[in-house]
Amino acid sequence: MDASSCASDAANLAGRVLGALRGSGGAGLADFLDSCADPTAGLGAVRLVGADVFLPHVVLNHPLPPQDAEVVAASFEVFPPVTEPVAPEQWVMAWHDWSTVSVLARLTGDVPVTSPADPDAVLGPAHDWVRWAGAVAQLSALAQPGATGPVVDAVVAQPLALCRGAVRTVLRRDFGTASRMARWVALAHARGARPPVDPVLLVEHVEPRVGAEPRRLLDLAVARHLVEAA
């Protein structure tokens, strides 16, 4: 599988999800996969985008077609999940995969899946907020409307570390990461944590600077929805 093809397909898929949130139809995972020149790369893209493929169903209450659920299941068959994470990047992927399977179970009515172990294994201590925020940014797909789970609870419980991380990304002009952090700041706001950074102002500052990368624009669209729904 060509990694560049997978990344390109992931951007395409994120663009479809973003379009669906903006009212231009559904993400259509089965249609997306049919459009991919390399189906394996397309399934890799589904894994990369993760739980965000379900945003039109979570945000807009669109029903999940069975064939789309089958595409997600196929992506895990071709790219098996990490079952015994050890390295930090493996823990990130384990939680990323858990969020995908968890939302899929919620939408299909299946039995909820067991989450990985203690979130400290992936986040680390909040007093080491630079590293902590870096892990939080990598797990931005967990910051969805109605999100629950140990990582979500752990992040929302640390609004100061979260906002320090968000402000640091803005000061470093790392607006791609800032868009991911904006989701978490917005979720903390929606959960009543009232972080010291205004999520609306954060999104408005980052949006014109983030470029045209669909995955980052999707992050900001989710942040806006979380604020508006709070």
Q: What is the mean pLDDT of residues 69-98?
A: 91
The reply to whether the predicted model has a pTM over 0.85 is: yes
User: Rounded distance, CA 230 to CA 224, Å?
Assistant: 10
146-163 tens-digit pLDDT: 888 999 999 999 999 999
Write the single-letter amino acid at 142.
Answer: L
Domain-wise residue ranges, the chain: 1-115, 118-230
pLDDT at 25: 66
15-39 tens-digit pLDDT: 999 999 988 766 789 999 999 999 9
pLDDT at 2: 60
pLDDT at 230: 67
Quick check: 3 pLDDT over 80?
Answer: no
Residue 46 and residue 9 in contact, taking contact as beta carbons nearer than 8 Å: no
Write the single-letter amino acid at 171.
Answer: L
Residue 51 and residue 141 in contact, taking contact as beta carbons nearer than 8 Å: yes
pLDDT confidence of 63, banded at 50, 70, 90?
Answer: confident
